[in-house]
Structure 1
Amino acid sequence: MKKVITLLFLVSFGFTQAQQAFKGKGDVKVNVGANIQDGGSGIQGSVDFGLGENFSFGFVANYLLGVDNFNGFYNSSAYNDYKPDFGDRFDAKARISANLSSVIGVDQLDVYPGLSLGLHNFGGHVGGRYFFTDGFGVFTELGFPIAKYGSNNGVFDHLNNQFTFSLGASFNL
């Protein structure tokens, strides 16, 4: 019972002491967290710079730490314990986002849909940040490809060309 009361207190304190999630021009947000997707999991880091009341640009990078080796046949070739190289595990993107906290009327929650242009595809993302204090919050983000580059006929080309889910900590700089 003590644990439940403590948890309820912390959650209610976090919501009552919440801070503004996106302030507009000059605002800098940094996200660090886990990236979860089919065939691998890893880390994600991003930074967003506010350009206006509801607009930001930024950069995001992913690196897959846990990827299964491939055994079998692919495009008429046999592979035995084939490992992905750095290029298969890493992706970097430039992105733009529409920050909608002032539009939806909830200052503590920044919902941000946007577009990204990366090393492996042109895609989109939808995310949300909630700040408990002026400098610390949490984020979650969904990413998806819209147009993939090249023929995508490599064994590990699917790793950076699929739906992704990320969550972690967000910092206000």
Structure 2
Amino acid sequence: MRKIIALLFLGLSVINTNAQQAFKGKGDVKVNVGANIQDGGSGIQGSVDFGLGENFSYGFVATYLLGVSEFSGFYNGGTTEYHNVKPDFEDRFDAKFRINANIGNVFDIDEKLDIYPGLSLGLKNFGGHVGGRYFFTDGFGVFTELGFPIAKYSDNDEMFHHLNNQFTFSLGASFNL
């Protein structure tokens, strides 16, 4: 019981430690690693953002779907019957270049919180995202993001084309490098 109480106090002291600003501007580097949740599958997401100015950053994000629903039946009204078809690597993977407007300080909110809407240009589409990071300490925090496609590159209606062309929700750990 003493060990549990000691761990609890240690955890609370880490949370209450004063943190630096969530986004510092030019030269700032943030790394996010977390879960990606969407219709038809779930997986992992990793991203890195580099500060260019007081409220502007650019970066890269990659996702890979681990748990993906199999497809059985007649796809899109066709005549070919499919049985337990799983997506290939290229159907599960997506990578994007992105830009962010880091606006936490514009709204004069807690300096530990970074809010960032942005745009992304990826392998599958042109899209947008809205995210937030909260730092408990100078180096560690949590993040969440909502992503959405704005324009798909084609009207291709292949069986797993929708996997990287839909609304996504991500959450996980954020690190300040």
Assess same fold via TM > 0.5: yes
> Residue 17 of structure 2 contacts residue 137 of structure 2 at CA under 8 Å; is this kept in 1?
no
> Which of 72-81 and 161-170 deviates more?
72-81
- Cα distance in 1 for partners of 2:52, 2:114 equals 15
Taking the aligned partners of 1:8 and 1:67, their CA distance within structure 2 comes to 40
CA distance in 1, matches of 2:169, 2:16: 24
1:97 maps to a residue whose letter is N
- After superposition, the Cα gap between the structure-2 partners of 1:123 and 1:66, relative to the gap in structure 1 and judged at 3 Å, is same
Which letter maps to 2:97? Answer: A
Q: Which one-letter code corresponds to 1:93 in the other structure? A: K
- Tell me by how many angstroms 1:19 deviates: 2.7
CA–CA distance in structure 2, aligned partners of residues 122 and 23 of structure 1: 27
Matched ranges for 1:1-173 at <5 A: 10=11, 14-15=15-16, 17-75=18-76, 76=78, 77-105=80-108, 106-173=110-177
**Is the Cα–Cα contact under 8 Å of residues 19 and 132 in structure 1 kept in the other structure?**
no
Q: Percent identity?
A: 76
Q: Is the 8 A contact 1:58 1:95 kept in 2?
A: yes
Task: Give the TM-score taking structure 1 as reference length.
Answer: 0.91
Structure 1 alignment gaps of length 5 or more: none
The whole-number CA distance in structure 2 between the counterparts of 1:115 and 1:169 is: 21
Between 98-107 and 53-62, the greater mean CA deviation after superposition: 98-107
Is the alpha carbon distance of 1:11 and 1:39 closer, same or farther for their aligned partners in structure 2, counting shifts above 3 Å? Answer: farther
Structure 1 pair 12/70, CA: closer, same or farther in 2 (3 Å)? same
Contact 1:70 1:81 survives alignment (8 Å): yes
Q: Pick which of 30-39 and 76-85 moved more.
A: 76-85
Alpha carbons 1:152, 1:158 under 8 Å: kept: no
Structure 2: which 5+ residue stretches go unaligned?
A: none
Deviation at 1:17, TM superposition (A): 2.3
Deviations 1:86-138 (A, max 9, x none): 01100000000000121122211000000000011100000000111111110
Deviates more, 1:15-24 or 1:57-66: 15-24
In the aligned structure 1, how far is the partner of 2:74 from the partner of 2:57? 44
Determine if contact 2:129/2:146 at 8 Å carries over to the other structure: yes
Q: Distance in 1 between matches of 2:81 and 2:122?
A: 30
The residue type paired with residue 18 of structure 1 is: A
Q: For residues 148 and 11 of structure 1, do their structure 2 counterparts lie closer, same or farther at Cα, with a shift above 3 Å needed?
A: farther
The RMSD of aligned alpha carbons is 1.9
TM-score where L is the length of structure 2: 0.89
One-letter code of the match for 1:63? Y
Give the letter for the 1:78 counterpart: E
Write the distance in 1 (CA, Å) between the matches of 2:9 and 2:128. Answer: 35
Distance 1:103 1:8 in 2: 34
Letter in 1 for 2:70: N
Per-residue deviation, 1:15: 4.9
